[in-house]
A and B are shown apart, each in its own frame.
Chain A
């Protein structure tokens, strides 16, 4: 325990300067900062939606019908006279929630799997990674559709199904990172001064894997949101009365000839979010993980 304290006081300044370096690099990347700004705004708006939304979520005005953007309805109304801004805000809540929750599922499975395989190595590693290889070969998109069809279009199932798809790459990244760190000299040094295995994992292995994990997480969220929107667009994802951007785009397509704004505004919301998250992810990769290849 005593050695652990010494160790932590020594690593502290090093790790904080890693983060400071990363922040300096990131803050020079305007697109990434823009992405961060959009993401934070979205999170804030989503949290506050029930308070700041200009109208009620299901508030209909059949007499009004579909109207173009105006001063009373900034983004217009749909065919039931529902305010589009309000609907996009509520849809964004669901889209973001799917993005974060499903990514968390993928994170937990992927990190655990990858860390165990990488740290223990040997036969266990070979078996675990062979399983990952085999799962990679499965066409998951088709499986998710199948699950949604068979077991009903349930949002929790959607979280699980998407999370179960996305963990594979995370497991590979964490494993290779853990393996490369495990064999480095400073780990040997840590063993030699008598640190326990647990402390080494906690103090050295995990902090050193966190950069690529953050980067990959930032890039997973948009791909999860895209997957959800894709399924909802086909009518196989989020179901009414809940709404998501994919579902709003689906409705928008049906009436796009007469009321194009019903397609364009949810489309902008989704694209802008994906754009922001991808730029942030790219920026974080440059800042935190300079060796990673840009693909």
Chain B
């Protein structure tokens, strides 16, 4: 197991290096320097700026020094927010995005697992069809459509909840969390239904029922652990999706998290900020994929044996 863990970590390192290298050279291949948009700046000012951001050196030297900087955890200064470092901006956004992603995940898991398991307990009945059709609608209703529609109905027409901000007015966290979580609730519902159906058809479940255990004991003590493996495996990719989703949700609800920073950095062509955030987010995503892989192996005895036997 430890050997497996180490080999997975060893695999992640070249991937990260590819991310850093590709991002760096893509950004540096950009037509027009970061200061070219500012009109009527005297050439000596541009030179001074370029020297400050090391843009006057050859690209490979910039690359080496950037690699050195990020190894020591320093993403450098932001181009467009003078006097602020990329690290500061990321650190300011992270707690907010993490909280949003956490609530969204609660919505997704709560709704998804409940309706998926419920559907699997009575397959091909209304209890199955109704949530599964809703799940399909949830999958087909992108967050950038669901969010505005929720705002329109519950925020503007019914005036039940605030329509923007984060932590300013009580209740303003409700709509963003639901908007971000719903699509994943739908996927999780389908995954947990499929996983549970497969487990419930197996012999050990029949044995459990035959020895007179109540249905709830059968489900909770025996079926859930195996039935939810597909859901656990989905959590890594879902996390990556939540980060991407936060771009949209934070833009719609004007939440000052890293998603909104990223989109703004993209529009401002704030190259150091984009570069730093891309690397930071990629690292996060790779780590979460690794964790979700490890958990699903730990939960699945078959895979566990395969790994410990080499």
Residues of B within 8 A of A270 (CB): 142, 145
Complex CA gap A230/B246 in Å reads 12
Q: Is B156 an interface residue (CB 8 A)?
A: yes
Which A residue's beta carbon lies closest to that of B190? Answer: A295
User: Quick check: A256 and B152 within 8 Å, CB to CB?
Assistant: yes
Q: Is B244 an interface residue (CB 8 A)?
A: yes
Contacts A/B (CB < 8 Å), 13 sampled: A134-B14, A150-B29, A222-B140, A249-B144, A252-B148, A256-B152, A257-B156, A263-B148, A270-B145, A271-B137, A271-B145, A278-B139, A294-B190
User: Quick check: B26 and A253 within 8 Å, CB to CB?
Assistant: no
Q: Is B114 an interface residue (CB 8 A)?
A: no
Interface string of A140-169 (1 = CB under 8 A from B): 011101111111100000000000000000
Chain B 270-303 interface residues, beta-carbon cutoff 8 Å to A: 274, 278, 281-282, 285-286, 289
User: Quick check: B251 and A234 within 8 Å, CB to CB?
Assistant: yes
* Residue from B145, B243, B274 within 8 A of A149 (CB atoms): B274
Complex CA gap A230/B241 in Å reads 12
Q: Is A90 an interface residue (CB 8 A)?
A: no
Using known A-B contacts A138-B18, A139-B281, determine if residue A234 contacts B152 with beta carbons closer than 8 Å. Answer: no
Complex CA gap A249/B252 in Å reads 12
Measuring CB to CB, which residues of chain A are less than 8 angstroms from any residue of chain B?
A: 133-134, 137-139, 141-143, 145-152, 222, 226, 229-230, 233-236, 246, 249-250, 252-253, 256-257, 260, 263-264, 267, 270-271, 274-275, 278-279, 293-295
User: Quick check: A274 and B140 within 8 Å, CB to CB?
Assistant: yes
Interface core residue of B144, B149, B240, B278 (most chain A CB under 10 Å):
B144
Complex CA gap A274/B136 in Å reads 10
* Residue from B140, B194, B266 within 8 A of A278 (CB atoms): B140
Residues of B within 8 A of A257 (CB): 152, 156
User: Quick check: B266 and A230 within 8 Å, CB to CB?
Assistant: no
Complex CA gap A275/B268 in Å reads 35
User: Quick check: B152 and A263 within 8 Å, CB to CB?
Assistant: yes
Interface core residue of B152, B194, B248, B281 (most chain A CB under 10 Å):
B152
Using known A-B contacts A147-B26, A150-B29, determine if residue A230 contacts B262 with beta carbons closer than 8 Å. Answer: no
Q: Is B263 an interface residue (CB 8 A)?
A: yes
Using known A-B contacts A138-B15, A147-B26, determine if residue A234 contacts B247 with beta carbons closer than 8 Å. Answer: yes
